[in-house]
Amino acid sequence: MNDEETNTIPSKEGNIYDETRSNCTNGAYIIWDYETWSPVVKNMSEHKTNCELYFKTEYKESILNGMDPLLEGSLIPVTIESDGTVKKADIGSEWYSYEKKNWANAVILFDESKDYLAGEVIPESEIESYFVWIPKYRYQLWDLGQYDSLTSVDESKVHEIPILFGDYDTSDSKDGECTTPMESGSSGNCAVGDYMTHPAFLSIPSTGFWVGKFETGYQGATSTTDAEQNVNDASKVIIKPNVYSWRNINLANIHLTSYNYQRDLDSHAIKNTEWGAVAYLQHSAYGSATSVRINNYSSHITGYQANEEPTCGWTGTNLDCNKYCDDGSCNTAYPNSTLASTTGNISGIYDMSGGAHEYVMGAMTDNDGNVLTGRDSQSYSGFKGALRDGEVITTGYDWPEETYYDKYVYNTSDKNYQARILGDFTGEAGPFFIVTPPGSVN
């Protein structure tokens, strides 16, 4: 164990079998049974066979305070080199460091039965999906997002977001902390300067969660049109760079496809608050804390970055300042697109800005708390329920458990920024709606 000789096998908790160093004599070899935490010796001969087994302690980063990545099911820990080369991580060594803005990555293979040794290259062709770990944290509130009107952007509030990692749920009984407001429009007992556990880690209790490294693509698509499929089909999920983003799919099919993709890992469509947790971590000392370069590839291919910083915000049309193009003259493909990463290096999450128009699992409710399934019969989610115009949709899918979507109180407008949950970025990052050149606010 860590080069200390012993005659007993160390406990499974916090320890790793070192397959790269373990060996046997006379041609025998070991397959380690992780289920029973014991060796299985293969190719035994009649001659006396001796085996040496090596173990080491699993790497943990102290600043995470126990919120280190959970490796379960089909997830394989990896490191990614600057040229995109993927290697199976040696989890007994430093394979991530949030202090150094190097976020933990993992992959799922097309063939989940395949195995790789630590340090071995995993071919891109074998990878179905990439994921990045978001550790549980609390952050310091700088704005409660309670605006009476949308007037101007307060540049003085642009700052790095203070974050503390750890497995704690804030409570108003603790000094300097506050009760996390889980209902939209409510501030609970929070005040500016308090540290609040991000709600993404509370609605689905966890010490962190894995997020797709890129927008979800449609497996097998060879054109933008091929990837425009409004279907529920988990077998078509692919999350990797340089593939066509899955578009023109309604929210119900997004939910069911995501939910059924890796059920044993509790896969699901990302919620507003979970998206906010990624964005806040990006804008902390542990992320790039700067503008995330837009993916401006107009054919909607994942992992790209614009070569120039956009000079204006999105106004609903492809303005020249956004420089959308397909010919490569204005954008750069992964792995050379790190300005579009949340970390400013290859370890982060891409496609957070630009790319396809993205749905998240958030729903408005009427004044009685009933979930609204859409605006009208021409624009709704695919779930059953009441529409904002009063009509009721009786066909489609039932809404999932409430843990899988954020609820917002409908008031007089679906553009009302009073309807927000602290941590989802719609309130604290305001006031804003649509920014038009040369920077005026609508």
**How confident is the model at residue 319, as a pLDDT?**
55
Are 202 and 402 a contacting pair, CB within 8 Å? Answer: no
Could you tell me if residue 387 is left (phi over 0), alpha (psi between -120 and 50 degrees) or otherwise beta? beta
Find the range with the poorest average confidence among 88-102, 260-274, 375-389, 401-415: 401-415
Please state, in angstroms and rounded to a whole number, the distance separating the CA atoms of residues 81 and 346.
7
Give the model confidence (pLDDT) of 156-203 as tens digits: 778 899 999 999 887 544 455 676 555 665 656 778 888 889 999 988
Query: How confident is residue 146, by pLDDT bands cut at 50, 70 and 90?
Result: low
Q: What is the mean pLDDT of residues 408-429?
A: 73
Are 75 and 108 a contacting pair, CB within 8 Å? Answer: yes
Percentage above 70 pLDDT, the chain: 86
Query: How confident is residue 1, by pLDDT bands cut at 50, 70 and 90?
Result: confident
- DSSP of 173-230, one letter per residue? TSTTB-PPP-STT--TT--TT-EEE-THHHHTT-SEEEEESSPPEETT--STGGGB--
Q: What is the mean pLDDT of residues 135-143?
A: 91
**How confident is the model at residue 174, as a pLDDT?**
47
Give the model confidence (pLDDT) of 13-48 as tens digits: 888 888 888 999 999 999 888 889 999 999 988 788
**How confident is the model at residue 441, as a pLDDT?**
35
Q: What do you get for the CA distance between the two ends of the chain, in Å?
A: 63
Please state, in angstroms and rounded to a whole number, the distance separating the CA atoms of residues 107 and 306.
26
Residues 353, 100, 76, CA angle at the centre, nearest 5°? 75
Please enumerate in sequence order all residues whose Cβ is within 8 A of that of 113, keeping only pairs 6 or more positions apart, or say none.
Answer: none
For the chain, give every domain's residue range.
15-57, 59-361
**How confident is the model at residue 260, as a pLDDT?**
98
Sign of CA dihedral 425, 427, 430, 435: positive
Give the model confidence (pLDDT) of 203-239 as tens digits: 888 999 999 999 999 999 999 999 999 999 999 999 9
Residue 2 burial by CB count (10 A; 0-12/13-18/19+): exposed, middle or buried? exposed
Closest Cα partner for 273 from 415, 139, 416, 413?
A: 139
Whether the per-residue pLDDT at 240 is higher than 90: the answer is yes
Higher pLDDT, 146 or 84: 84
Give the model confidence (pLDDT) of 242-252 as tens digits: 999 999 999 99
Higher pLDDT, 142 or 250: 250
**How confident is the model at residue 223, as a pLDDT?**
97
Mean pLDDT of the chain: 87
- The number of residues in the chain equals 442
Whether the per-residue pLDDT at 313 is higher than 90: the answer is no
Amino acid letter, residue 27: G
Please enumerate in sequence order all residues whose Cβ is within 8 A of that of 359, keeping only pairs 6 or more positions apart, or say none.
Answer: 251, 254, 269
Residue 162 gets which letter from DSSP?
P
**How confident is the model at residue 436, as a pLDDT?**
45
Whether the per-residue pLDDT at 417 is higher than 70: the answer is no
**How confident is the model at residue 264, as a pLDDT?**
96
Please enumerate in sequence order all residues whose Cβ is within 8 A of that of 120, keeping only pairs 6 or more positions apart, or say none.
Answer: 87, 88
Whether the per-residue pLDDT at 291 is higher than 60: the answer is yes
Closest Cα partner for 340 from 298, 308, 300?
A: 308
**How confident is the model at residue 366, as a pLDDT?**
82
